[in-house]
Structure 1
């Protein structure tokens, strides 16, 4: 079993792990020949299924295993994110799977330059392969006194194929409304404000019920976010947003399937000014959890929200790529609370 890669987008990798860490402490990381997947499945709250192309994060990349060159790891996101933060100003960074005292770990090795002429000393591990095929880390000084090599170790757990075989993305019906969201950091600012006001002004009910937002959209470019308590009712409406056209090749039944799609029927209802009460699909979500989801906005990219009325909200976050194509997508599954 072998994994080794050089990191070309430290900033993206750091923001990604910070965003995921806000939703759960552990990630299932699946490494394969053509993509890297991060999955968060908390006991309660939003699930994340992220599929990244190799060049979204890495430059050189090698993965080898007896299981069709697939390696599954359980990774503590806090430790990984802390290590990546230390590499933000690095001149180069590499990550590899190795072992120490027979325990698997990810070793992040970064090179930094300094004006100091002093040398730092640190232990160097042997570079021989062990019996399980994982490479031990070979840490050494870079050429010249101005370069320093630092290695940070992140303990991980290797997951067998049987362990992850039963993990699958949630199944949802066809969405009633799909819409491209405004900038997520703008939504986060407003939703955080709503949640704080509701928690401060509510006089009765549990803390959980007081922090629930209602988010709704229609097929005429309108999005609405609101929160209600015994003491207050506030809302914010966005108009002139885009409802992307469905691709016949991606819908069962092609053009006929689109004609019978729930969103096509919803488009016949409502209005573009957001005043009509018809044609809205809505979900009720925890405001604090929603704020954590919105933190992915720091990565940029296009976000399509799919509303399954009173059932679930699915967000597709398409990360920008160097070649201009949407090759990496983070999928968020947010369940709706009952009324």
Structure 2
């Protein structure tokens, strides 16, 4: 098998692996001719199924294998992210699948160029070669090439054949979220206040908090937290509820007319005061904060609420052409009351 690619968007790749690493240490990486997929399925917490167009991250790209040109790898996200960070200021970066001592590796080869400013920072005393002295005085530059190696595990097709995205019912509410970093800031503050209040009232340190997230089909989103000591909430209005695409819904226009979100749109109001028409879920505050780290990638986020069952986030990554071609899907289960 063979995989080799030139990385053209190192910043997006680095932010993506950092965000995924917050949810789990290992990812299933699926490389194919059509796309690149990252999947995280932790024992507890949020699942992530990321489907990326090849040109979101890579420039030249080649993958070959006996299994229909598909390669499945188990990748440690921490080491991969640290390797990518070292390439943030690189003039070029290439990644390939290789082996050393019969251990499969993702080898990241990074080329950097140092200007004469770097050389002039050398101490004036001590030994250094004539070439370095010449480069500094003539205003030249020098290229440095380093290779970072990340051990991986090659997965047989049978090993991953049974892995599939979670099955969920049709959402009751779908809404475009405000900027995720804004949501993260507020949810972090809510969580800290709840933990502090629980510690004060019980005398023992609490470890978990539950956030109540709710939305309606009139552009309203509500985040709240309630404990024995406090109850706080924040409400957003004038958000967008995207229209359903008949081609993506079973039975087309008839399916849309019978869709749960269509029925929910007949309930509630745009000011958020009515208690009708809201779909809600209860999620773990710390887990939610980890999910929100994907906000550093930008792009629009559509949240789908399956009332008291699950929250699904679709994070669409912007491309150079302005089209949403890559999507990260987060499956967050709701806790019972």
TM-score of the pair, normalised by structure 2: 0.91
Q: Within 2, Cα distance between the matches of 1:334 and 1:73? A: 24
Q: Within 1, Cα distance between the matches of 2:215 and 2:206? A: 26
User: Which sections of structure 1, spanning at least 5 residues, go unmatched?
Assistant: 120-143
Cα offset for 1:145?
A: 6.5
Q: Within 1, Cα distance between the matches of 2:206 and 2:13? A: 34
User: Which sections of structure 2, spanning at least 5 residues, go unmatched?
Assistant: 120-127, 130-139
Counterpart pick for 2:301 among 303, 322, 338: 303
Match of 1:30 in 2: 30
Q: Please, what is the CA RMSD of the aligned residues?
A: 1.4
Does the 8 Å CA contact 2:26/2:75 hold for their aligned counterparts?
A: yes
Match of 1:190 in 2: 186
Does the 8 Å CA contact 2:195/2:205 hold for their aligned counterparts?
A: no
Instruction: Spell out, residue by residue over 1:292-315, the C-alpha distance to the aligned partner (whole angstroms, 9 max, x if none).
Output: 000000000010000000000000
Q: Secondary structure at the match of 2:261?
A: helix
Which structure: greater helix fraction?
Answer: 2
Cα offset for 1:233?
A: 0.3
Cα offset for 1:251?
A: 0.4
Cα offset for 1:34?
A: 1.1
Q: Within 1, Cα distance between the matches of 2:215 and 2:165? A: 24
Q: Within 1, Cα distance between the matches of 2:93 and 2:205? A: 47
Match of 1:124 in 2: none
Match of 1:99 in 2: 99
List, as ranges, runs of 4+ consecutive aligned residues in structure 1 with deviation greater than 6 Å.
none
Cα offset for 1:13?
A: 0.2
Match of 1:158 in 2: 154
Trace 1:141-290 onto structure 2 (pairs within 5 A).
146-202=142-198, 203-204=201-202, 207=206, 210-290=208-288
Cα offset for 1:206?
A: 8.4
Cα offset for 1:325?
A: 1.3
Match of 1:53 in 2: 53
Q: Within 2, Cα distance between the matches of 1:337 and 1:193? A: 21
Match of 1:136 in 2: none
Does the 8 Å CA contact 2:301/2:313 hold for their aligned counterparts?
A: yes
Instruction: Spell out, residue by residue over 1:243-301, the C-alpha distance to the aligned partner (whole angstroms, 9 max, x if none).
Output: 00001111001111001000000000000000000000000000010000000000000
Instruction: Spell out, residue by residue over 1:183-212, the C-alpha distance to the aligned partner (whole angstroms, 9 max, x if none).
Output: 00000000000001000101359835x511
Q: Within 1, Cα distance between the matches of 2:85 and 2:210? A: 33
